[in-house]
C-alpha cells in the first residue's frame, strides 16, 4: 500500500493556440519527403507527409499561438496536417477543428519498497524498463519485461517508432503500457502511448523525473536541428508510482539535475525554506535528505499545472531557466559533449536571475551565489567552450524555443519581478520580450561573470 498519495486533476482540453493570428497553408508548401522519411512518418502517424509538414513549420518559425488555416488545402491532405498540428510544439489549433479531450484524474502514489511499485501491473500490461535501471536492479525487477536503451542523443521520432513496434509485436493491445525509467524513457514511451491511444503508467527512477516530469503529462522528443522536446503531446499518465529507493544507485550528476529542477520550483513559489534546504543538501552532498522534500516540490508544480494544464498561459513559468538551458544543452549534444540537463538549466537560471535583477531591481545576488557555491553550474572548461559559440547558433536555438512567441528578432524569457513572483509582460503574458541583440549581450555578460 502507498504511504502517501497526491491526486492530479486534468480538466477537459479544448485546444491550444489563438485564432487572432493565423497561418494559411496552401498546397505548394507541402514538399515531398524522401522515401525513408515517408516510411518513418507512416509508421508514426499513418501518413507519409507529416514529418515534412513539421519541418516546414519549424523552418518558418511558426509559434504555438498561431492557428493553422487549412481551408485552401485539398481534403486528402487534411489528416496529415491535423496529425502534424497535434504534435507540433505539443499542439497548435487548426481553424474549424475542435480538438477536445475528456477530463481525468491520476494519482501519484509514494511507496517505501521497490516491489510495491510493480504491484499494480497485470499480465495484460506491457512493461518497458530502461536498461540502466535493469542493470542496477536486476534482482528486484520481475522477469519477462521489455528492456530498452534510452538516451538523450536518441530521443527522437525513431525512438518513438521503436516503442510502437514493440507494442505492435504483442499482437493484442495491452491494457496499459508501464514505463520504468527516467525522464527520457517517460517522454519516449509516453509519446508512443499517446499516438497509440493506450494508457501509460509511470514508475520514475531518477530525481529529475520524480520532481518534474511525473506531473503535468508533457511528453516530447527532439526534432532535428530545432532542438529539445519540440514535438510531442499532452498525455498525462494514468498512474505514477514513486519510490525513492531508486535513487540509491543514481549517479551524482543525475541527482544534481533533479536538485536544479527542485530549486526552480522553490524560486517560482518564493519558498525560502525549501530553497535553503535544497542548497544545503547540494553543498553537503547528503543526497538522501532530499527524499523528505519531494512531496513539497511536487505540490508546487501541481498547483501551477492545475491552474494551466495545457500551457496556455501561466504554466510557461515552469520554463524558468530552460530557454538558455535547452539552447546550451542542444549545442553541447551536437558536439558530443555530455553535460547534464540540470547543469544547463542551472546556467539558465543563473542568467535569468541576473537579468531579472537588472530589469526589475530585486537583489538576486544570494541566489546566483548559491547556484555557484553548490556546484550546480557547468565547470569552467565547458563555460569557456559555450562562450565561444557564435551568436548565429545561439539566436537560432533561442528563437526555436517552444514557448517563444515573438518571431526571429526577440527572445521570450521567464523572469522574476521579485522572489517568488514571475514577471508579467505588458500584455499580461508570462514571457518577457527581449530584443535578440540585447539578449545575446546579456548572455555574454553572464558568461563573463562565471569564467
Strand partners, 416: 422
Asked if pLDDT for residue 6 goes beyond 50, the answer is: yes
Mean pLDDT of all residues in 185-193: 97
Give percent above pLDDT 90 in the chain: 60
Cα angle for residues 406, 407, 408 (degrees, 5° grid): 130
Cα angle for residues 406, 408, 413 (degrees, 5° grid): 50
Give the three cell numbers for residue 424: 508579467
pLDDT digits (tens, 9 = 90+) for 207-224: 999 999 888 899 999 998
Asked if pLDDT for residue 29 goes beyond 50, the answer is: yes
404-410: long-range contacts at Cβ-Cβ below 8 A with a sequence spacing of 24 or more?
404/63, 404/323, 404/431, 405/63, 405/64, 405/65, 405/429, 405/431, 406/63, 406/431, 406/433, 407/61, 407/63, 408/61, 408/436, 409/435, 409/436, 410/434, 410/435, 410/436, 410/439
pLDDT of residue 106: 87
pLDDT of residue 17: 45
| Residue carrying the nine cell digits 547543469 | 343
Query: Which of 355, 341, 335 is closest to 444 using CA atoms?
Result: 355
Least confident of 86-90, 98-102, 364-368, 400-404: 98-102
**Average pLDDT value over all residues in the chain:** 89
Give the three cell numbers for residue 35: 522515401
Least confident of 4-8, 86-90, 199-203: 4-8
pLDDT of residue 310: 85
pLDDT of residue 1: 57
Q: How far is CA 62 from CA 88, 92, 327, in A?
A: 9, 10, 18
**Cα R_g (the chain), whole angstroms:** 21
Mean pLDDT of all residues in 63-82: 90
pLDDT of residue 357: 94
pLDDT digits (tens, 9 = 90+) for 86-104: 999 999 999 988 765 666 7
Exposed / middle / buried, residue 409 (Cβ in 10 Å: 0-12, 13-18, 19+): exposed
Residue 259 and residue 275: Cα distance in Å, rounded?
10
pLDDT digits (tens, 9 = 90+) for 264-291: 999 999 999 999 999 999 988 778 889 9
Asked if pLDDT for residue 143 goes beyond 60, the answer is: yes
| Residue carrying the nine cell digits 511507496 | 111
Contact 211, 223 (CB under 8 A): no
Asked if pLDDT for residue 402 goes beyond 80, the answer is: no
3-state SS record for the chain: CCCEEEEEEECCCCCCCEEEEEEECCHHHCCCCCHHHHHHHHHHHCCCCHHHHHHHHHHCCCCCCEEEECCCCCHHHHHHHHHHHHHECCCCCECCCCCCCCCEEEEEEEECCHHHHHCCCCCCCEEEEEHHHHHHCCCCCCCCCEEECCCHHHCCHHHHHHHHHHHHCCCCCCCCEEEEECHHHHHHHHHHHHHHCCCEEEEECCHHHHHHHCCCCEEEECCHHHCCCCEEEECCCCEEEEEHHHHHHCCHHHHHHHHHHHHHHHHHHCCHHHHHHHHHHHHHCCHHHHHHHHHHHHHHHHHHHHHCCCCCCHHHHHHCCHHHHHHHHHHHHHCCCCCCHHHHHHHHHHHHHHHHHHHHCCCCHHHHHHHHHCCCCCCHHHHHHHHCCCHHHHHHHHHHCCCCCCCCCEEEECCEEECCEECCCCCCCCCEEEEHHHHHHHHHHHHHHHC
Query: Which of 209, 290, 207 is closest to 247 using CA atoms?
Result: 207
pLDDT digits (tens, 9 = 90+) for 101-116: 666 788 899 998 887 7
What are the boundaries of each domain within the chain?
A: 18-87, 104-250, 253-450
Residue 180 and residue 190: Cα distance in Å, rounded?
11
Contact 87, 231 (CB under 8 A): yes
pLDDT of residue 192: 97
pLDDT of residue 188: 97
Residue 307 and residue 314: Cα distance in Å, rounded?
8
Mean pLDDT of all residues in 126-138: 92
Q: If you count them, how many residues does the chain have?
A: 451
In this structure, which topology does domain 104-250 adopt according to CATH? Rossmann fold (3.40.50)
Residue 60 and residue 265: Cα distance in Å, rounded?
33
pLDDT of residue 121: 65
pLDDT of residue 423: 96
Which residues, 6+ apart, have CB-to-CB distance to 426 below 8 Å? none
Asked if pLDDT for residue 356 goes beyond 90, the answer is: yes
pLDDT digits (tens, 9 = 90+) for 379-398: 989 999 988 889 999 898 88
Residue 55 and residue 227: Cα distance in Å, rounded?
12
Mean pLDDT of all residues in 332-344: 89
Name the pLDDT band for 298 (thresholds 50, 70, 90). Answer: very high
Mean pLDDT of all residues in 319-327: 94
Q: With the C-alpha atoms ordered 430, 432, 59, 165, is the resulting torsion angle positive or negative?
A: negative
253-450 sits in which CATH class?
mainly alpha
Asked if pLDDT for residue 35 goes beyond 70, the answer is: yes
Amino acid at each position: 500500500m502507498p504511504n502517501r498519495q497526491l491526486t492530479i486533476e486534468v480538466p477537459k482540453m479544448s485546444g491550444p493556440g489563438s485564432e487572432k493570428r493565423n497561418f494559411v497553408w496552401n498546397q505548394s508548401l507541402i514538399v515531398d519527403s524522401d522515401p525513408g522519411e515517408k516510411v518513418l512518418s507512416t509508421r508514426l502517424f499513418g501518413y507519409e507527409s507529416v514529418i515534412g509538414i513539421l519541418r516546414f513549420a519549424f523552418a518558418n518559425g511558426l509559434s504555438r499561438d498561431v492557428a493553422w488555416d487549412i481551408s485552401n488545402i485539398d481534403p486528402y491532405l487534411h489528416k496529415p496536417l491535423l496529425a502534424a498540428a497535434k504534435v507540433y510544439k505539443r499542439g497548435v489549433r487548426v481553424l474549424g477543428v475542435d480538438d477536445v479531450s475528456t477530463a481525468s484524474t491520476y494519482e501519484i502514489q509514494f511507496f517505501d519498497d521497490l516491489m510495491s511499485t510493480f504491484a499494480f501491473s497485470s499480465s495484460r500490461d506491457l512493461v518497458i524498463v530502461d536498461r540502466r535501471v535493469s542493470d542496477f536492479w536486476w534482482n528486484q525487477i520481475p522477469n519477462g519485461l521489455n528492456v530498452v536503451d534510452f538516451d538523450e542523443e536518441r530521443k527522437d521520432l525513431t525512438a518513438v517508432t521503436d516503442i510502437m513496434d514493440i507494442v505492435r509485436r504483442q499482437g493484442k493491445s495491452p491494457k496499459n503500457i508501464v514505463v520504468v525509467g527516467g525522464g527520457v524513457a517517460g517522454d519516449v514511451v509516453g509519446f508512443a502511448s499517446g499516438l497509440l491511444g493506450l494508457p501509460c503508467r509511470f514508475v520514475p527512477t531518477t530525481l529529475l523525473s520524480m520532481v518534474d516530469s511525473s506531473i503535468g503529462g508533457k511528453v516530447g522528443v527532439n526534432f532535428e536541428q530545432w532542438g529539445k522536446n519540440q514535438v510531442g503531446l499532452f498525455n498525462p499518465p494514468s498512474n505514477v508510482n514513486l519510490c525513492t529507493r531508486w535513487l540509491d544507485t543514481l549517479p551524482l550528476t543525475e541527482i544534481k539535475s533533479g536538485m536544479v529542477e527542485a530549486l526552480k520550483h522553490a524560486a517560482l513559489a518564493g519558498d525560502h525554506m525549501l530553497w535553503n534546504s535544497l542548497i544545503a543538501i547540494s553543498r553537503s552532498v547528503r543526497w538522501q535528505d532530499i527524499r523528505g522534500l519531494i512531496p513539497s516540490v511536487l505540490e508546487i508544480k501541481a498547483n501551477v499545472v492545475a491552474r494551466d494544464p495545457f500551457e496556455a498561459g501561466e504554466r510557461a513559468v515552469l520554463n524558468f531557466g530552460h530557454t538558455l538551458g535547452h539552447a546550451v544543452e542542444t549545442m553541447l549534444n551536437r558536439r558530443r559533449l555530455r553535460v547534464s540537463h540540470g547543469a544547463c538549466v542551472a546556467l539558465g537560471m543563473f542568467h535569468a536571475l541576473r537579468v531579472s535583477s537588472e530589469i526589475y531591481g530585486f537583489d538576486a545576488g544570494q541566489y546566483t551565489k548559491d547556484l555557484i557555491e553548490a556546484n550546480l553550474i557547468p565547470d569552467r572548461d565547458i563555460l569557456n567552450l559555450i562562450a565561444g559559440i557564435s551568436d548565429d547558433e545561439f539566436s537560432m536555438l533561442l528563437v526555436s524555443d517552444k514557448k517563444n512567441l515573438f518571431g526571429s528578432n526577440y527572445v521570450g524569457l521567464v523572469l522574476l519581478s521579485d522572489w517568488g513572483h514571475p514577471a508579467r509582460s505588458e500584455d499580461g503574458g508570462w514571457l518577457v520580450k527581449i530584443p535578440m541583440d540585447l539578449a545575446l549581450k546579456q548572455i555574454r555578460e553572464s558568461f563573463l561573470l562565471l569564467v
